[in-house]
Amino acid sequence: METMKLRAHIGADGILQIQAPTDLKDTSVEVVVVVQPLPDAEVAIYSEAQARYNAWGKPTTKKSISNAIALMRQLQGEVALDKTSIRSMIEEGRRF
């Protein structure tokens, strides 16, 4: 059993959305949720330091986002095709 303590924000729509990283995959689990409003002082601190996680459950930071963008640009340069190649592929595809 794993116990996590998270903080979240309920939007104006009244819907609570929870994202929690876990090592469990493809399994059924039982989840217990306790909703308790925070005092105003804690809300101000929380809104400044809210952690966000990527699809792999790792925290995202400005550095990790910058690294991801740099890698995407590098990949784009490696696989980029010129316009004539794209046109010829389209024409070849139409033949089938």
pLDDT at 42: 56
Please name the amino acid found at residue 65: I
More confident site: 67 or 39:
67
As a whole number of Å, the end-to-end CA separation of the chain is: 56
Cα 26 to Cα 1, 2, 32, 53, 88: the distances in Å are 16, 16, 19, 19, 44
* Alpha-carbon torsion angle 17, 22, 27, 31, nearest 10: -50
Tell whether the model's pLDDT for residue 43 goes beyond 60.
no
Tell whether the model's pLDDT for residue 86 goes beyond 80.
no
